A and B are shown apart, each in its own frame.
Chain A
Amino acid sequence: MEPIKRFGGSMVALPINDIDTDQIIPARYLKVTDKAGLGAAAFSDWRYNADGTPKADFPLNQPQYQGAKVLIAGHNFGCGSSREHAPWALMGAGIRAVVSTYFADIFKGNSLKNGLLPIIVDEPTQQQLISLAQEDPTAEVVVDLEAQTLTLPDGRAVTFPVDPFSRYCLLNGVDQLGFLLGLDDEAKAYESAHPARVLTTA
């Protein structure tokens, strides 16, 4: 995995609370066996008309928001289904960070494993970013994972929390599976101390 340290980009706002993963990518797109092409399905039901043409008023379709890297959302982003297709679809659509006041647990974990940053800010900052994105689509923010800061166009930097282990992995391009594989001896020790009561092959 490519290390992630710092990046800048413009924003697109979707000021809706409780955006669930069924909205991020509807279930009918989950019949795939790979991750390719999911970006086109991001927010599909909000983004396209019944005949498949893009809805002109949906922010992600508007010319001024093409190339946006940071999605500013309402409260509680990513609730519902555990589908990792949600961060895959967002990243496929060019999004590298989502800003909200809080995130659903599974979505947050899935995102961090894919290099999509869930950035938690307070409500005034969230509201300021929504207004900024709507008023000036060219306005850029800078995400610095090392410093754990989000710098607004006016130069104000707000800090955001990140799970230290996920941060370490992202900064260094370390993948979490590799880390777990390295603990094989400890897993073996656990297994010999805890014989299984249930075996599916029994």
Chain B
Amino acid sequence: MSAKTLFEKVWNAHLVRPQTPDTPAVLYIDLHLVHEVTSPQAFTQLRERGLKVRRPDKTLGTMDHSTPTTPRGADGLIPVTDVQAAAQLDVMTKNCTDFGIPLYQLGTQNQGIVHVIGPEQGLTQPGMTIVCGDSHTSTHGAFGALAFGIGTSEVAHVLATQTLLQNQPKTMEIRVNGTLHAGVTAKDIILAIIAKIGVGGGTGYVLEYTGSAIRALSMEGRMTICNMSIEGGARAGMIAPDETTFQYVAGKPYAPKGADWDAAVAHWRTLPTDEGATYDTLVELNADDLVPMITYGTNPGMGMRITDRVPDPASLSDYSAKVALDKALTYMGLQPNEPLLGKKVDVVFIGSCTNSRIGDLREAAKFIQGRKVADGVRVMVVPGSQRVKAQAEAEGLDRIFREAGAEWREAGCSMCIAMNGDQLAPGQYAVSTSNRNFEGRQGKGGRTFLASPLTAAATAVAGVVTDPRTVTV
């Protein structure tokens, strides 16, 4: 048997039909996550063709993208005042009811961002294939699952057949050895990777993150990294399962129990890439060299060390890159060679499927504890799920945020995508722990600096972009 990569093992184990010169592979899907924004037209297609959902028991719905994160009413419910969003959520409920799909309704105890709930329920397990009509499905790859985003046509394919047509992607190893310094996080690793390979660098690839710095990360840190694989152009990113993975999954509601657990772990131990297996490409980074990262432009590849200055288009030789940087700096209202440290911000957003898990909130709270949010800065803390919210409240994190003057909100995507009324005003600057700084992503005309929860928290207190290493906790 030839040596195989983690990706190849998971891919091969899910082939209903191998790829041929004329047809893509047909891949079996173990778990299909569904949310309100990218599924309605797929259900419509099923209805038009008189089809059923083949495996509602391998499908799970949640509400996250267009849901409000505003406080609950006296009835304990989260009011949806946006008529269009309310209609979309009603359609989601009807679709899940009609087709027999379990659904985590808005405000109920398990509801949350689709890529937060899978792992926290133990539904996300090593070796699985997981898809969702959402590009950040790559998050689940942190468990050694093959997980990737699909379009709405493909959502219909999976609903109806539990299979997908896929051409086999190439593999890229991203090896991060070394040790992170204090104040440098998983978010900084992935921002540095994307700054290095560019937003299109991973196109056509599945990434596997390896190396001692990746091994040293918690599952939450690994999820942050895999989450942003798509920002480097790769549909999926994976990390081989290990003891950290097993410990995280153990005891979760859907985790295997008893003898099933032992069998599962025995299987999961066979998944890591074999000695001698090869990847199509290798990218290397040293964790010792990393410092906190921040983006200055309008895509996640436009990132730099927080201590650097904004690059100068005049220094670029490639014409189209020069034009792109010019355009980005104009949108961002930034000057070439300007430092970002000390730049005044209007909003700090701590949330999204990249950085809204309990560990992220704990880290941010540690910084904010006993301090006050700077005058004139709006700080929004949006837990990734109702479970994260409940856990944070049990630990008193909500009080720390509130007492500092930050907003503690209901769970959801919120200002990561700004569909639900949580948004920047035109021209406002935000430091955001989310994953996309595209023009208008956090509100039309809004300007986003992507960074880690530590950088976000340090900035919240100072009111200006701040290197978390310069703040004593």
Q: Which residues of A contact B (CB under 8 A)?
A: 15-18, 20, 22-23, 26-28, 30-35, 45, 50, 74-76, 79-85, 102-106, 109-110, 113-114, 163-165, 168, 176-177, 179-181, 183-184, 186-187, 190-191, 194, 196-202
Tell me how far the C-beta of B43 lies from the nearest C-beta in chain A, rounded to whole angstroms. 9
Provide a sorted-by-A list of 8 A–B residue pairs whose CB atoms are within 8 angstroms: A15-B323, A18-B324, A22-B439, A30-B65, A79-B200, A177-B49, A177-B161, A179-B165
| Inter-chain contact A31/B66, CB cutoff 8 Å | yes
Q: Which residues of B contact A (CB under 8 A)?
A: 13, 16-17, 21-24, 26, 28, 30-31, 37-38, 40-41, 44-45, 49, 51, 54, 56-60, 65-66, 82, 84-85, 87-88, 91, 101-102, 123, 125, 128, 133-135, 149-154, 156-157, 160-165, 167, 169, 199-200, 203-204, 230, 233, 235, 254, 256, 260, 264, 299, 301, 320-321, 323-324, 327, 417-419, 426, 436, 438-441, 444
Which one, B85, B152, B235, contacts A105 given CB within 8 A? Answer: B235
| Inter-chain contact A82/B161, CB cutoff 8 Å | no
A70 to B420, CA, bound (A): 34
**Neighbouring B residues of A16 by C-beta, 8 Å:** 323-324, 327
Given the known inter-chain contacts A28-B418, A187-B28, please indicate yes or no for A201 contacting B57, CB distance below 8 A.
Answer: yes
Tell me how far the C-beta of B22 lies from the nearest C-beta in chain A, rounded to whole angstroms. 5
**Neighbouring B residues of A168 by C-beta, 8 Å:** 22
| Inter-chain contact A200/B41, CB cutoff 8 Å | no
A-B contact count (CB 8 A): 212
**Neighbouring A residues of B24 by C-beta, 8 Å:** 163, 165
Tell me how far the C-beta of B39 lies from the nearest C-beta in chain A, rounded to whole angstroms. 9
**Neighbouring A residues of B123 by C-beta, 8 Å:** 198, 200
A109 to B155, CA, bound (A): 12
| Inter-chain contact A106/B85, CB cutoff 8 Å | no
A17-B321, A32-B40, A74-B324 known; 6 other A-B pairs, CB under 8 Å? Answer: A15-B320, A18-B200, A18-B299, A82-B38, A177-B157, A198-B58
A15 to B151, CA, bound (A): 25
Tell me how far the C-beta of B153 lies from the nearest C-beta in chain A, rounded to whole angstroms. 4
| Inter-chain contact A201/B102, CB cutoff 8 Å | yes
| Inter-chain contact B45/A177, CB cutoff 8 Å | yes
